[in-house]
Structures are given as C-alpha cells and as structure tokens.
A and B are shown apart, each in its own frame.
Chain A
Amino acid sequence: MVEIARYGRKGEMGSKSLMVTTVLLCSLAIAACGGNQDKKSNNKKGEVAQSGVPSRDPFPSTYQPYMSEVTLIKGATILTATGEQIEDGSILLADGKISAVGTAKDVKTPKDARVIDAAGKWVTPGIIDIHSHLGVYPSPGNASTADGNELTNPNTAEVWAEHSVWPQDPGFTRALAGGITSLQILPGSGNLFGGRTVTLKNVPARSVQDMKFPSAPYGLKMACGENPKRVYASRGPATRMANFSHYRKAWIDAAEYNKKWKKYEAGLEKSNGEGDDKANAPKRDLKLETLAGVLNGEIVVNMHCYRADEMVQVLDMAKEFGYKVSAFHHAVEAFKVADYLAENEVCAAIWADWWGFKLEAYDSVRENAALVHAQEGGCTIVHSDDPTGIQRLNQEAGKAMADGQRIGLDISEKEAIAWITANPAKVMGVLEQTGTLEEGKMADIVLWSRNPFSVYAKAEKVFIDGALMFDRSVPSLSPRTDFEIGQQENGYVGGAGQ
C-alpha cells in the first residue's frame, strides 16, 4: 500500500507517483484471485480468548472480493479525490487493487488486460455514504422489517446495527447502481446512544458478515436534540439539558468500567497469564463495553446534531471525558460554526438542501457544504440518510458545489468529489483502503457516462475490489434481491439500475 493518510482537499496532495508497479496478472481462470488479504481478526465467531478478555470482533468480516480481471479504463477524465483531475487518464485494476493511475500515456496496458475505452467518460472512486439505514429500515418498510431504532431506553449503546441489517434489502442494489461501493449503516436517532454502526462493502450477500468492510472500526451512533427528547418526553430525558445529563452520566460509568478492565488486563500482563484469570474478570456489560471503546479511541463517534449551539456543547463534553467526535451528521447549522468545527477537526455530514421538516432543520442554507469546506481544515461530507438519496450522492454534491461557486468559493469537481468519497472514508476509518484513486488501494471504482456532477450522468460500471458488480449495459450484471426475484414481470423493475 502506498502513502496517503491524507485526504484530498484543495489540491494539497500535489503531484504523485504514477508508476506502474509490477502487475500480478489475475486471470479469469484463477478462481482464488483477490483473496481476503485485509482480514485482521483471527477470532472464530463468538470466541472468547483464554485470558477472559472479550473478543473485540466476535462477528468478524467474512467478506472476500469477487472474481476480477485485469482491467484498464482508458482515456477518461479521472477524479482521484486527492485533489487531482486527470484529463485523458487511465486507471489499471489488477488483483482487486488499483495498480496504476495517471495520464493515458503513463499507464501501460498489460498483455491480456481487458481494455475499456472511456473517452468522454469520467472515473471516480466508489461513492461512500456515511449515513444510511439500508438493511435496518429496508424496503418493503413495515412492522416486520423496521429494525433500526431500539426505542426502549435512551441509552442502547449495547445494540449493534449489523444484527438488524437484512442483506436482502433491495435498496442495496439501487445504491449500487448509483455508484455506492461502501456505506455505514447506523441505528436510528431516537436514543441518545443509538448503538454501534457497521461499515459494509456494497456487495450482495447472504449474511451481513459477508458484507462487512474488513478491518473497518466500529462507530457509535449518538443523537442530539429533538428526537430523543420527544421519544422520552414522558420518561425522560425530556429536555436538552437532560440529554446532556444522560450523556455525561453514561461517560462517567464508562470511565469506571474502563478502569476496571484496564486494571484487570494490567494484572494479567503482570502475572503473565498465570493464575485464575477468568474468575477475576470484571463482568461484561455490552453497553459500557461500547462506550469504553469510544474512550479508548477504538470506536468512532458519529453524532446526529442539527443545531450549531448543540454541536459546540457536545465538543466541550467530548473534551471533558477525553473522547473524539469524528462527524456531526445532519449538521444543517454547520455553517454557523464552520470555523469551530474545523478547529476541532470534526467533519460535517450534511444534505445539500433538505430542510424544514422539524425546527432544528429550519435554519438551512444551500451553501452549507461549501462554507464548511472553505474553512482552513474544514471537512465536508455529503450523506443521504435515505434509500432514494443514496442513489444520487453525486447529484447532491454537485448541487452543493454549484452553490458554493455562486458565492465566489473556489470549489471544483476535483475537490467536491472528496465529499462523497475520501472524506467519509476518513471518518469511517477506511481511507487507507478506499476512498481515493491511488495505487495500492482497493479497486472500488465508478465509471460514469459523463461528468458525475450532472443530472444526466449515470454510473455505467461499478467495480468493488476490482470485481465488476454492476454494468448498466448488461442485464445479467444487475443484481436482484431474493425479495424481488420472480415478482410479476420483472423486465423493468426489481434490480440495480431499475
């Protein structure tokens, strides 16, 4: 893997080596092509280590890249999401990875490579949605399938979204046709602590483990404001001040829990694993285990928060307890505190223009994304929170870019593409693997019919780890879920791209 822990903004990446490395040819005949090299955990499912220290990964990813062939996409306009736009560019996919990217003359065509002439077309990294409820609020939506909000307690940090994800949600296929290659699924926002999020690769699968993004950290969904106080109006927290008291009490408990386990683990280390360790292990508490994971920096905080003043309060709370908030989601008022967010290195995950459905979404400006981006160190993410919106994140980013340009901000496609690729990847902790078009990264790639910041642009081909998972021109390369197969006459409906 090459360098790049940095994400593309304002061209700061500068020039980049475009050397073609030795390409391990991966022909169609080699079935094991592109194995699961990223798998970190060796835990078997449900295994508890001998020491009594619980597994950090009891439901490990079993995702494996699908079969791919060496492919050269040639002559396209390439947005790398590192701040570069390459005209007449080529990108080489081999062994599930990006093997080379550069101008057409710099990228050599390996023998036996499949060559796609992409003149007039555009290439971007696979689109990443940091905020989706696909699978937990699937289609069809009814009492049988609504599994996204555990509204039984304001703190349900113990629930994990992956245990609700229905891999057969047709929404995944529609998102794929919109270029989505990775996405974070979150619990809903009815609770202060909604539970753990899960990051998926957008591949059709039989189990959610088969979709889990290898080595992606867990996230914690938290929520500010109106939703929790409305849901718990009769039981409490019924006010914003009670929201905060509940958060803080939980962090105090989590710190205590953390201390106990740290002491136990230190003891284990000291005794070199001898003695009756398991008997002395503190009792596990799934709720506090998740919160302790945040305090230890292992779990990423995604906080649903609309109002500017609440975001500022949340950041003070994070300082009080020593954890980091990585992104405010639905941050409709981010533009009011864009400087403060940048100083605190928090991303604002937002819609381009949705507003007014509740009071905390009333103060909206269409320039929100651009104003956040324009701050020195500002980080904009465009998200969907919606099974229709996720199909067109490119359009949402395009609108937000255009609105920024109109107030004189210097934002072009090569920067705005990061709002739906590199920036969400950074927050989701997968930027080293995906989110930009750089040598060595997963070949998560979208070939667009034209400039993706156009209403007329279509994702023509979508590659995930180099495997062609969607091809608009080939009906057999349009996955259809179990729910939709065989329903009525399916000529025009029921699959990706329909």
Chain B
Amino acid sequence: MINTKNFFFKTAKAEKSNPVSSGNPVSFGNMRSGVGKLAIMASLLTASSLMTGMTTITRAAAQTVAVMDGQVHTVTGSIIEGGDIIIRDGKITEVGANLSAPAGATIIDATGKFVTPGIIAPHSTLGLSEVGAVADSNDTRPNNNFPLGASLDAADGFNPASSLIAINRAGGVTRAVSVPSAGGSLFGGQSILVDLTGKNNSLIKRSVSQSVLIGGGGTGRAGGTKLGVWAILRETLAEAQTYANNPAGYRQLSSDGRYKVSDLAALRPVIEGRQPLLVSVDRAADIRNVIRLKNDYGLKIVIVSGREAWREARALAAANIPVILDPLANLPSDFDTIGSTLKNAAFLNQAGVVIGFYGPQSGTHNLRLLPQLAGNAVAEGLPYDAALKALTLNPAKIYGIDTDLGTIEVGKIADIVVWDGDPLEITTRVSDVVINGVAQSLDNRQQHLLERYKDLDRGDKPHPFRGGN
C-alpha cells in the first residue's frame, strides 16, 4: 500500500487495497521510478540487515511529568476516575487516584478529560512516503520488476522528518510499524517500529516483521493464479529453510540461483518462527491454507486485511493468529472479499482473536483516524474496551513489545494521550501527548497552514509572511 486513497482517480477500482501491494500493478503513471536509487540501497543492504535486533525501546528522558485528574483508561481492565499518572525518566512510576505531583514535575491537567495509552499503528508506511504520487518522496514500494523482496528494509528509507509524523502525533498516535510494500516479489520486506517523536533516534526497533501477499494481490506476481502464489511461497520457505540450516554452505547447495541470498537471509527469523510474517489475505479458503502453513512450518503469522477472517474466527483464535483489519471494509471489492462485513472486528474479538486496525481508505497520512475506525467497530458490536485494546495493547502484543508498551502500568514506557472527550468519538481531539515520558509538541505543518490562512485579509504583507516557519 503506497497510499490508499486512490492516488489519481478511479482508473481501476482500488477500493480494497491490498496492504502490501500498491494495488493494480498496471496502474497509471509509473509511481515508482527510482530504480537506480533502490539498487544502490540494495548494495548496502547486506550490511544493514546484519544490524537488526535493536531491542532498546525507550531512551533515557530526564523529565518528570504528572498527568493529573483525568479519567484514566489503563487498558488493563480498569478505569480510574480522577486518575493521576506519575512519569519519571521515561517510565510510568505511579498510577492511581489522589497522587501528588512530584516537585518540579511538568503538570498536565487532565481534569474532565480522558487519558489512554498512546495509539500504536500496527500497519502503516510512516516515514516511507510523504506524498503518495510523488516518486521521489515515496519509498514504500519498488517497481514490479525489482528483483529483491524479503531483504528490503524499511529502516533504510525511514525519514523521521516526514511531516506526517507530527500531524499524526497531534492525533494521538505515538508508535507505528512501518511496512514496505511488495514490488515484483511476493514478499514486501522488513518492517520497523518507530516512535512519533520525529527525532533522529525515533527508529526504535528494526526488522519487527516480514510481509507477504497471499490473496488477490499476490497472483499478479505469481503467474496469475493462487496456485502460483502457493507454489512460490512453499518453494521459497523451503529454500529459506535450506539456507538457515547451513548459511555458509548455501551457495554450493543452490541449484539454479533463483533466490537471492539476501532475501533468504531475511527470511531466516521468519522460518525459525521468531519474526511475525504479515500475511495479506482475504478469502476464507486462503485463510484456512494460511493456518495450515503456520502449522506446517511453525511460523508466527499475522493476518492483514482478512475480510473473511470472521468465517474462520475460532480456528484463528485456536491457532493464535492475530488479524489487522479495516473495520469499515464491507464491500465485495473482488471475488476474495464476498464475505466482507462491518461485523468482522466484533466476531473475531468475540472468538478470542487479537485484533488491530488499519485504514486503507485513509492511509498513513491519516493514522490519526484510527480512533474513528475503532468507534465504528464499537457501533457494530465490538465492546468499547476491546476497541481501546485494539488501538493500544493489541498492536504491542502482535509485535511482542507489550511488556514495555500498550497499557498504563507502573514500569511501562510512558506513551500517554490526553483527549478532550471520548477518544473514539469523531468530535474529540487530542490535548496532550507524552512519548517516552516527554511531553510532545502538537505543532505541525497543517497547523502552520491554518495560522497562515485563517485570516484572508490582504494585510500589509502577503500571506507567506504569516504563520510562523
């Protein structure tokens, strides 16, 4: 997914966007033309991919912050009225009612407001794309004929200065997983976990997941059929297994050189069941095959999109497979999505499946609309607390960072959002954001544009003299 809003106009329907693809491979305008640049990046890739596994999630932050007197939704099962949160050096040190703010603390008055953990976007392209249709600003997806897939690493394209970061931070998003999209390969490459401070050190964890296209999005890359998709997938996993068994001797064993060593190396943590494989898939029959795949290879699987996942809800729960879904997707966009329904989130949750949300319609530019998606899921029967979890704790669980993030608990990293009303309500806005225990600016480019143009009087000087820097 480069961006979900159909970039240009409706040429072929892109209503259903496959999260790892850019939609129609023969779409208009070659959005990606940076082959040369990518080739250079690829040459650096072997070195960079060896540096994966940075596990430090937080950074020391010598600041004491006290969020006082809010309705605190801890997402641990409790709501504390008049709740206080004390934060020291980046971590939550106290949570409760009637606490005292430490001397010298930065006080955030949350009286009459809602307080939640920061929103974690489990599937985005944050920092990889500034303007969808502007090729030089978009590093989400290689061309269809680009040879590498799994080895591509979002870390190599991540731009912490992207304007999307501050804009979405002002909407309460504090962390995001940034997922590259598949080009010619079935595999999209390695995702990263970032925080939304916009700082140079905001890339928190590398190689948090790999992604693959199984459904309709994959067939165009596999000879036009799902048969081809599964043949290539099984062959690739077998080859990755061979590589993992003996990396040093692999070149001798390799018969035809169809597989790039860098791709196989990137798949090693996947085949060893250590790294989640995000599988973009919709049709119930394909989902059943994915469950078998997980069992056959011992993979850690996360389903993305999963329009018909509700039909396999119990099996997915039993197989411990989370689903990252769009709760608004209710149209039969193609013959993989006949069973699309607004009840998907509620049914999956009821069966015990861990769910998260993403919004192909609004895309990474509007991760700030994730609460609206959650609110709509609630309107369709998802319990409120489950919706809040899907925005916070569940993404942390999916990526194995829930010991540090996702709830308001003593000892966790202090990512906190204060809202001026029900966080899932469309008329609610964010009043404060804390990331890594540091109160964040809500300033952003859109705010400056507003300042510049809210008064259209000609004035003494033209508009470009207004609105700050």
Contact = CB atoms under 8 A, between A and B. Distances in A.
Given A365-B449, A367-B450, 9 more contacts: A188-B10, A230-B29, A353-B362, A353-B366, A354-B362, A357-B3, A392-B376, A456-B425, A498-B341
Query: Which of B10, B29, B130, B424 has the most chain A CB within a 10 Å cutoff?
Result: B10
Interface string A33-65: 000000000000000000000000000000000
17 contacts: A137-B15, A139-B333, A141-B16, A141-B334, A146-B13, A174-B331, A188-B9, A189-B8, A227-B9, A339-B456, A353-B368, A356-B365, A358-B131, A359-B131, A364-B449, A395-B426, A494-B332
Given A149-B11, A353-B366, A230 B332 contact: no
B106 to A, nearest CB: 23
Contacts of A365: 446, 449-450, 453
A493 B369 CA distance: 25
Contacts of A356: 3, 130-132, 164, 363, 365
Which 3 A-B pairs have CB atoms at the shortest separation, nearest pair first? A141-B13, A455-B375, A402-B427
Contacts of B363: 356-357
A365 B446 CA distance: 5
B14 interface: yes
Interface stretch (A17-25, A81-89, A310-318, A383-391): A383-391
B15 A454 contact: no
B454 interface: yes
B285 to A, nearest CB: 11
Interface string A299-326: 0000000000000000000000000000
B342 interface: yes
B333 A358 contact: no
A244 interface: no
A335 B428 CA distance: 22
A358 B134 contact: yes
Contacts, number: 194
Contacts of A388: 15, 328-331, 361
B341 A492 contact: yes
Contacts of A143: 12
A213 interface: no
B427 A140 contact: no
Query: Which of A139, A145, A392, A498 has the most chain B CB within a 10 Å cutoff?
Result: A139
A174 to B, nearest CB: 6
B28 interface: yes
Interface string A384-423: 0011110110010011011100110000000000000000
Interface string B129-163: 01111100000000000000000000000000000
A392 B427 CA distance: 14
Interface of A: 133, 136-143, 145-146, 148-149, 151, 170-171, 174, 188-190, 223, 226-227, 230-231, 335-339, 353-359, 362-367, 371, 386-389, 391-392, 395, 398-399, 401-403, 406-407, 453-458, 483-484, 487-488, 492-494, 498
Contacts of B332: 139-140, 170, 483-484, 487, 494
Contacts of A457: 379
B450 A141 contact: no
B338 A493 contact: yes
A455 B5 contact: no
Contacts of A337: 456
Given A358-B134, A371-B453, A140 B335 contact: yes
Given A188-B11, A401-B427, A455-B425, A230 B28 contact: yes
B429 interface: yes
A140 B343 contact: no
A142 B339 contact: no
Given A356-B132, A493-B339, A498-B330, A454 B427 contact: yes
Contacts of A498: 330, 341-343
B372 interface: yes
A359 B4 CA distance: 15
Interface string B380-419: 0000000000000000000000000000000000000000
A138 B429 CA distance: 34
B280 interface: no
Contacts of A353: 362, 366, 368-369
A353 B454 CA distance: 17
Contacts of A357: 3-7, 131-133, 363, 365
Contacts of B10: 133, 136-137, 146, 148-149, 188
B166 to A, nearest CB: 13
Interface residues of B, number: 64
B426 A453 contact: yes
Contacts of A364: 446, 449
Contact of B14 (A141, A189, A338, A492): A141
Contacts of A392: 328, 376
Nearest to B456: A339
B208 interface: no
A338 B456 contact: yes
A487 B339 CA distance: 9
A138 B12 CA distance: 10
Contact of A336 (B12, B427, B429, B453): B453
B370 interface: no
B378 interface: yes
A453 B3 contact: no
A139 to B, nearest CB: 4
A461 to B, nearest CB: 16
A455 B15 contact: no
B340 interface: yes
Interface in B43-95: none
Interface string B296-311: 0000000000000010
A151 B28 CA distance: 11
B333 A456 contact: no
B310 to A, nearest CB: 8
A494 B329 CA distance: 12
Contacts of B310: 492
Contacts of A140: 13, 332-335, 337
Contacts of B5: 354, 357, 386
A112 B7 CA distance: 53
Contacts of A137: 10, 13, 15
Query: Which of B335, B363, B427 has the most chain A CB within a 10 Å cutoff?
Result: B427
Contacts of A138: 13
Given A190-B11, A230-B28, A387-B15, A398 B334 contact: no
Contacts of B329: 388
Query: Which of A189, A223, A387 has the most chain B CB within a 10 Å cutoff?
Result: A387
B131 A395 contact: no
Query: Which of B12, B330, B424 has the most chain A CB within a 10 Å cutoff?
Result: B330
Nearest to A140: B334
A226 B339 CA distance: 36
Contacts of B428: 402
A358 B8 contact: yes
A146 B12 CA distance: 6
Nearest to B14: A141
B450 A139 contact: no
A359 B463 CA distance: 20
Given A141-B13, A354-B5, A488 B339 contact: yes
Contacts of A171: 331
Contacts of B341: 492-493, 498
A141 B449 contact: no
Contacts of A362: 131
Contacts of B7: 357-358
A406 B426 CA distance: 13
Contacts of B378: 455-456
A203 to B, nearest CB: 19
A137 B24 CA distance: 14
Contacts of B456: 336-339
A453 B427 contact: yes
Contacts of A136: 10
Given A359-B131, A363-B449, A371-B454, A226 B340 contact: no
